[in-house]
Structure 1
Amino acid sequence: MIFTINNKYFNTILNPTNYLHMYNKIFFLILILNFTGLLRLNGLYYAKEIQVTFNVVIPSNTPSSDIIYLYGSMNNWDPGPFLEPDSTDLALNFVPSGVWQIKIYLSVGATYQYKYTRGSLETLENNTDSTEIELRSVFIDEELDPLIFYDTVFSWKDFTQPPKPENGTPVLTFYNSNPQTDIAVSWATETFAESKIYYGIGDENENILDITKHTDMISNGDKLIHHAEINNLQPNSNYKYKVITNGVYESDLREFKTADYSEKFMFVVIGDNRPGIDTAVMQGVINDKANFVLHTGDLVQYGTRLAYWFDLFADWAPLLNTIPMMPIYGNHEVDAYLNRFFKLPGNNSSDPDNSGHW
């Protein structure tokens, strides 16, 4: 016998001796289900299925490397493999006719609801006006076998808004091989203006450095990310500092500590940030007084989306502006935002693809 729960079918052979008290109810259920798409074979009942083809045309700005997935009641609302690939992922294939297509078997007499994604809930399809699209609904009619559907995706949830610059907390890194005397402080602002960093051991006003090094955030020449390369510091010393971009942003007073020439030092290796546990990890690093953090990648879920970086800076500010973090590229970073926000050591390579690798 087959029970249907969340569109998953569980075959259960019932022994009348063991389940005699349930027999009448079970037999009645079989009769009802038999009229809505069950087949009887060798005394057992199975859901009758037919092949259904879904075809979809997608927007021209869809990244060529992305895969399209079905997200619906037919696969228990699995949006795709972004976090954990599994057997319920329903990936479409690009076919010569210029559409994405998938052929699956669905139960006769059932109604299914679905949308399309590019592998996660953050990449769901939207309407032409960038609002959330309603669920599509299809009824599996045996008389229409073979059943073929044609759909169009007008836009994607993550492509509806242009990137927006924001003010970002200072980020500490080592930009060369002299962590005892040199350190880099980088921060972002929503508009460009003259920027300075104030720093000192006893008072932050002991030294003032005008910022002359910038990188672009969104467009060529916007210079919205500022880099202070500080040198000639005292080893094994605590420094107070504050950054200011005139009329745009002023950080809180923060501290960093330079490295010692001692052969012994302590650092923490972390990677693959996860919402829900990041705060505990970050606080543990701060409590352990690590000299620096080596991050093995996947700082953000979508490296091509600027908003995710500003979320990172907001969530990780207590660590980023007090302990140097040395990140490397993970598969989620995928582009140059990491190399723009973090001032990292050079690698003497003339190949642009090696930018950000140290």
Structure 2
Amino acid sequence: MNIDCKNNRLLVSGELTFNNLSKLITKINECKPAIIDVRGASKLDTSSLVYLASLNIKLLLNKNDQSLLNIVLQHIPEKKKKKDSRGFLYSLGYAFVERLKELYVFMSFLGEVFVGFIGFILNPKRFRLKSTLKDVELMGFNAIPILTTISFLIGAVIAYHGSVRLKQFGANIFVVDLVSISVLRELGPLIVAILLAGRSSSSYTAQIGIMKVTEEVDVIKTMGVNPYDILVFPKIVSMLVCVPLLIVLADVMGVLGGMVVAHLSLNITVRDFILRLHQAIGIKTFVSGILKAPAFAFLIATIGAFKGFQTKKNVESIGKSVTVSVVDSIFGVIIADAIFSVLFRWMGI
């Protein structure tokens, strides 16, 4: 290999391969040319081409070597971008803006659901009874064992902790008020909503996400069928049916757990407990819990379906969407419960 440096121009002739590449590197460092001309090289391998292309110096090649260089550059992986180090405040602001964008997309999704649901009601033939009943069984009936257990234990724990303080003041009977009001107004609906947010919302997201990855959603659209008719509306209807019934069950089991602990810890008989229960709660207490059911049901179903439709077409995105779906559902339920508390206080309920 011959190398000649004249007027900031490096002329290379002969064979330029990996074996004599070090000689070329040394000459380039000495000459520091603005142009490298390798058109006179009789042989040029890929390692030399990659090195010359990385110098950011004007390179003169013949047609064959230029074609080889283009092929090599296509298969060189891009350098990974450096991690963003713009600080905590930037990351916080960026995350906030992204959540606002997601909220905007969710509101658009809700608009589509409302418009579609109106058409769904006006055209009952679109109602898929079989899918709705199956969802009622999976998300409602199958949740009864764990819901009854949790509700019973919650009622028992409230009564147990309340009995410790009430004994000191000789107000044992007021444990009935403590258990019944807290369970019927707040804890019963919240237990059901949080349980379904973790159980049903994640299931909806995973189901729709997998269908999107396998392009089944695209197939449904190609068949001329609205995907919401199959994947969203039956889930909303099933939730609207299940949640009020499960709240009633949670109320009963919570009060029953309080009754058992009151009898064992405070010697309050079942008869005395029931008599005080009639005095402690009224229709407003029961209704205030049931009124939350439609809002909780709608939030759980729509958030789960929305996250499913937002899933990207890769397997990794499914797990992320399921996790975010559960968190957002629980967050939405708690926000809704806080709004209901303020409204009920304002209305005197």
TM-score by length of 2: 0.19
Identify, as 1 or 2, the structure richer in helix.
2
Which protein shows a greater Rg? 2
Higher strand share: 1
